[in-house]
Amino acid sequence: MIDKRAPLTWDLQTTFFDRFKDQDDLYCSLVAPSPLHNPVMVSSNASLALELGLNPESMTEPAMLRLMAGDLAETSFHPIALVYSGHQFGVWAGQLGDGRAMTLGELAVDDNNGRSQLWDIQLKGAGATPYSRFADGRAVLRSSIREYLCSEAMHGLKIATTRALCLVTSDTSVYREEVESAAMVCRVARSHIRFGSFEHFHYRNQPEAVKAMADYVIARHFPEWADEDLRYANLINHTVTETAKMIAHWQAVGFAHGVMNTDNMSILGDTIDYGPFGFLDVYNPSFICNHSDANGRYSFKNQPSVGLWNLNALATSLMTLLPSETLIAALKHYEPTFLQHYRDLMAAKLGLLHYADNDETLINSLLALMEENQVDYTLFFRQLCYFSEPRQAVRDLFVDREAFDAWAVLYVERLSQQSVSDNDRSEAMLKTNPKYILRNYMAQAAIEKAEKGDYSEVNLLLDVLQNPFEEHPQAEHYAGLPPDWAETISVSCSS
């Protein structure tokens, strides 16, 4: 039984809501969560709790469990759901919005520079909102486990992302292809404002609302721009730059988002909305992680170009704030920023101190060789950390070993051009090339145990994925090639 008497002491601000108070329901709607029945804490993120200034032990208290399960009784929270629109699979979808997510408020945390950073605290799977579009607003346990683990895995990989504070399951039933358990993830983000937030008001011919949204983002995240004439130009330039860097990091680590709709793109360049994502097993640039993506629009190789397409859609929605020349100039920074960041990341993965012009041939020939030989992307780069003569382990990943030997000759020649010992290079590469990523079969193993009430695998993976470059003897079975049955896993937009 949950102790109903214990109060919750968690000071969330409400400045987010006050910001749009005078705009009626233009930007958001007040909502009320539908509490889960008999909630159980599957996992809580002690590391994030500490970063937020919370006592990790408080996550197990009955009052916190009630809150994380959507029970706001005896609290003063007034949650909201945001409205936005967007292009889905390249087609204008019209009004969307937080159909199953409710923002409780903001938590102010001082960073290392003494500046206060506001974090949105949001419950995902909290029930229907005005934007649910006839859906129940719930999230099932399986998709919640995937989002909980992947957002933390991405943070562990040093990729800009939303975070997850905890995961709660329950006796509440939801109906998808079959009856499943309802769950909630407490999502923590610097912002939940999306490209589609601006598109929504642009296509409704409400330029004053577009301006107010931009002013809000600037006031909250970039107060130093507030009085500058270039503040809107700064905003689009910042979004272009950070989006380019984010997607470059996706490509370097082998991550496929799966649903790069404009409503799933953060104005700050953070990875947001983990649906049918996937990490590469064998290197396959045509990899499609979303079973619903019949035409492969969001395939792994298409992600960089889709990022630019989405930024063009955002720029269109800002045409009442900025002249076309300024918007075009900002968009032109995307490709060189992406290429520079991607090349630097790939050079580091190869143990190179700096990217040189002729390294493009070295990198591209390696990727082509990996594709032809169906070499596991993560395993190869991890084993390459130990590259020296003889090089049997990494060589044996290739069917065409002679082709690898030919590439290795060029690689050895390139390494000889820098004065770094094999040991120092290896240590640096081990901090760049993860030993662990969240492969689909790993998430599936955690899901199957959790659906039987065993949450040990969720917590094991959380610990491993938050520190993916380190050794984890208890999870060594996740460091090798995936089992054959992993290829049968199919992930779609269903949640």
Q: 447 is written with which tokens?
A: 């899901």
- Contact (Cβ atoms closer than 8 angstroms) between residue 314 and residue 288: no
Question: What pLDDT score was predicted for residue 102?
Answer: 95
Is the pLDDT assigned to residue 390 strictly greater than 90?
Answer: no
* Confidence band, pLDDT 50/70/90 cuts, at residue 217: very high
Q: Taking residues 103-127, what's their average pLDDT?
A: 87
Residue written as tokens 């050079």? 347
pLDDT in tens, 230-241: 999 999 999 999
* Confidence band, pLDDT 50/70/90 cuts, at residue 1: very low
> Would residue 30 be called left, alpha or beta, if left means φ above 0 and alpha means ψ between -120 and 50 degrees?
beta
pTM of the model: 0.94
* 246 or 493: which leads in pLDDT: 246
Provide the 10 A C-beta neighbour count for residue 320. 15
Question: What pLDDT score was predicted for residue 492?
Answer: 61
Angle at 133 between CA 132 and CA 137, to 5 degrees: 30
Q: CA 444, CA 447: separation in Å to the nearest integer?
A: 5
Is the pLDDT assigned to residue 493 strictly greater than 80?
Answer: no
Report the candidate in 487, 15, 67, 475 with the shortest Cα–Cα distance to residue 280. 487
Task: For residue 186, give the 3-state DSSP assignment.
Answer: strand
pLDDT in tens, 19-68: 665 566 688 888 999 999 999 999 999 999 999 989 999 898 999 999 99
Q: Which residues are catalytic?
A: 263
Torsion sign over Cα 301, 307, 310, 311: negative
* Confidence band, pLDDT 50/70/90 cuts, at residue 2: very low
Q: Which amino acid is located at 438 in the chain?
A: L
Residue 484, classified by CB atoms within 10 Å of its CB into exposed (0-12), middle (13-18) or buried (19+), is exposed
Q: CA 375, CA 179: separation in Å to the nearest integer?
A: 38
Task: Please state which of the ranges 21-30, 112-121, 419-428 shows the lowest mean pLDDT.
Answer: 21-30
Secondary element (H or E) of residue 187 = strand 179-189
Question: What pLDDT score was predicted for residue 186?
Answer: 97
Question: What pLDDT score was predicted for residue 25?
Answer: 65
Report the candidate in 98, 48, 42 with the shortest Cα–Cα distance to residue 68. 42
- Contact (Cβ atoms closer than 8 angstroms) between residue 131 and residue 99: yes
Q: Taking residues 204-212, what's their average pLDDT?
A: 95
Is the pLDDT assigned to residue 174 strictly greater than 80?
Answer: yes
pLDDT in tens, 445-465: 999 999 999 999 999 999 999
Q: Cite the beta strand spans of 239-340 per DSSP E.
A: 255-256, 278-279
Question: What pLDDT score was predicted for residue 4?
Answer: 42
Is the pLDDT assigned to residue 6 strictly greater than 50?
Answer: no
Cα pseudo-dihedral 419, 423, 425, 428, rounded to 10: -140
Partnered with residue 282 across adjacent β-strands are: 376
What is the pLDDT of the chain when averaged over all its residues? 92
pLDDT in tens, 393-402: 899 999 999 9
Share of the chain above pLDDT 70, in %: 94
Report the candidate in 428, 338, 328, 318 with the shortest Cα–Cα distance to residue 381. 428
Helices marked H in 113-206 — which ranges?
A: 141-156, 195-203
Question: What pLDDT score was predicted for residue 110?
Answer: 82
* 227 or 298: which leads in pLDDT: 298
Work out whether strand 40-44 and strand 163-175 pair parallel, antiparallel, or are unpaired: antiparallel
Q: CA 394, CA 350: separation in Å to the nearest integer?
A: 13
Phi and psi at 47, nearest 5°, equal -60, -50
pLDDT in tens, 42-54: 999 999 999 998 9
Question: What pLDDT score was predicted for residue 368?
Answer: 98
Is the pLDDT assigned to residue 5 strictly greater than 60?
Answer: no
* Confidence band, pLDDT 50/70/90 cuts, at residue 345: very high
Report the candidate in 57, 249, 43, 224 with the shortest Cα–Cα distance to residue 160. 249
Report the candidate in 251, 284, 248 with the shortest Cα–Cα distance to residue 376. 284
* Confidence band, pLDDT 50/70/90 cuts, at residue 172: very high
Question: What pLDDT score was predicted for residue 124?
Answer: 97
- Contact (Cβ atoms closer than 8 angstroms) between residue 151 and residue 272: no
Q: Taking residues 375-384, what's their average pLDDT?
A: 97
* Confidence band, pLDDT 50/70/90 cuts, at residue 388: confident
